[in-house]
Amino acid sequence: MTGRLYGVGLGPGDPELVTVKAARLIGEADVIAYHAARHGRSIARSIARPYMRDGQVEELLMYPLTTETTDHPGGYRGALEDFYTDCAARLSSHLDAGRTVVVLSEGDPLFYGSYMHLHKRLAHRYPTEVVPGVTSVSAASAVLGRPLVEHEETLTILPGTLPGDVLAEKLRTTDSAAVLKLGRTFEKVRDALAEAGRLDDAWYVERATTSAERLAPLKDVDPADVPYFSLALLPSPHAHKVPERPRPAESHPGEVTVVGLGPAGRPWLTPEAQEALSTATDLVGYAPYVDRVPPNPRQTRHRTDNRAEAERARHALDLALSGARVAVVSSGDPGVFAMASAVLEAATAPEYDTVPVRVLPGLTAAQAVAAKAGAPLGHDYCVISLSDQLKPWDVVETRLTAAAQADLVLAIYNPASKTRTWQVAATRDLLLTHRPPTTPVVIGRNIGSPDEHLTITTLATLDPTTVDMRSLLIIGSTQTRLTPQGHVYTPRRYPV
């Protein structure tokens, strides 16, 4: 008796979009196989991990190359053909031994998936079943909230690797389209959309349904920031025919709600914040933060530069005066070095007396970093920004000294930027006059994102060059400790 082979689709990235059948098969399998580039990190495995069990054999099918050149006599295709043949042989040894093998596949196994190459080599030799999954195209349509096709419209799926003139011609003649495999092909795809006269209608969708999801009008996207797992979408032409929303009479002004998005994706967004975002008619905020909110066709998005807080606040209040329900978005908590104070300050002007303003809390960056490290904020602590853009550095030094003398744990925001590179070293040297050199220091960068990085070091060995604007520092008190397992914590009891 041979084993059974399953090609299992996992959907676009959210583990909750794995089908019931796929989850069951993953849990029952003897062998779990998945592809990865040479770094060894598998997106498919990360999606399936909640459904896997201890004791399963894992087969990492590592690509010999992705975009690199090769000296293989058959070139790029020849190298991959040999790779798939070798992978099939490895899986055959399990199947011949009677083991059940599940090959994981992002999206759908037979939709531009690597599984299909194994299917061709094994399906005629062993009992085989393919379990479909939600495709990236369906996910993109869903997170945009725009239909792919209506009535008798046609949908065209295109790989971005096609020649530019071919892309333009196909985009010109179809109703709706999805262009996959962006990455290095992005600029060619964007030019083809422009040549076809469709650029203004195109949306960019990156890692749909995951915490790293990003949505934006395609014409506004920087090519340098486009990964392979993204696509361009032309929704149904009917999706663009959204009627202008009615505005309430000026005698009934709208409102401004300042919303904390938390430090990363949807898992850290509160239900109250989600409701405010869903009912808003206008979104206002720093462009990358606005982009984190899934687009809604009935909403207007106002994206601004990071240093335009006062202008942004007045703009939001003006929109509310015209009857709009405005959500002003901030990363983390809007009351911590963010937009809440800017909006409330602007709202003191007499012309805004009738505009209601609410502030909705969000998970702070300090809380997120502290949780990843353990419990460094378990006792008294203070929060300080190292930025001297809005206050002089001597004030920062005075506050750092006071906090150090009071033996408070410090959560430090805005530690460095491209133009501020010396403050971290100055802070370290100042604190070393009050704290032991072995004081634990936590550096959290992009916590909550796929590329998050946590470093635990000491005050004496803190390297300022490893800290940037996306980092948050937590510097322990004299009581902060490190557990044998590597967790940082500050005891709740202070010695007498």
pLDDT at residue 133, as a whole number: 97
pLDDT band for 258, please (50, 70, 90 cuts).
very high
b/e map 228-267, b = 16+ CB within 10 Å = bbbbbbbbbeebeeeeeeeeeeeeebbbbbbbbbbbbbbe
Structural domains of the chain ordered from first start: 5-133 (3.40.1010.10), 137-240 (3.30.950.10), 255-363 (3.40.1010.10), 366-489 (3.30.950.10)
Say which residues have a Cβ less than 8 Å from residue 225's Cβ, sequence separation at least 6: none
pLDDT at residue 306, as a whole number: 65
The two three-digit tokens of residue 279, written as one number: 């009912």
pLDDT band for 253, please (50, 70, 90 cuts).
low
The average pLDDT across 15-26 equals 95
* pLDDT tens profile 263-290: 877 778 888 998 899 889 999 999 889 8
Average pLDDT, the chain: 90
pTM of the predicted model, to two decimals?
0.53
Share of the chain above pLDDT 70, in %: 96
**Strand-pair category, 203-206 with 230-234:** antiparallel
* pLDDT tens profile 63-88: 887 666 677 787 778 888 999 999 99
pLDDT at residue 251, as a whole number: 44
Q: Residue 395 CB: number of other CB atoms within 10 A?
A: 10
pLDDT band for 247, please (50, 70, 90 cuts).
very low
Indicate if the alpha-carbon torsion angle 318, 321, 324, 330 is positive or negative: positive
pLDDT reading at 436 higher than 90? yes
pLDDT at residue 266, as a whole number: 76
The average pLDDT across 25-34 equals 96
The average pLDDT across 223-231 equals 87
**Strand-pair category, 255-260 with 214-217:** unpaired
pLDDT band for 310, please (50, 70, 90 cuts).
confident
pLDDT band for 303, please (50, 70, 90 cuts).
confident
Instruction: Give me the residues paired with residue 61 across strands.
Output: 35
pLDDT reading at 248 higher than 90? no
pLDDT at residue 72, as a whole number: 78
pLDDT reading at 218 higher than 70? yes
pLDDT at residue 71, as a whole number: 75
Lowest pLDDT segment from 6-15, 112-121, 216-225, 400-409: 216-225
Contact 259, 270 (CB under 8 A): no
pLDDT at residue 67, as a whole number: 61
**CA–CA dist 476, 483 (Å, integer):** 14
The average pLDDT across 327-336 equals 94
**Strand-pair category, 440-445 with 471-475:** antiparallel
CA geometry: angle 341, 347, 348, nearest 5 deg: 100
The average pLDDT across 328-336 equals 93
Lowest pLDDT segment from 74-78, 187-191, 227-231: 74-78
pLDDT reading at 252 higher than 60? no
pLDDT at residue 80, as a whole number: 87
pLDDT at residue 307, as a whole number: 67
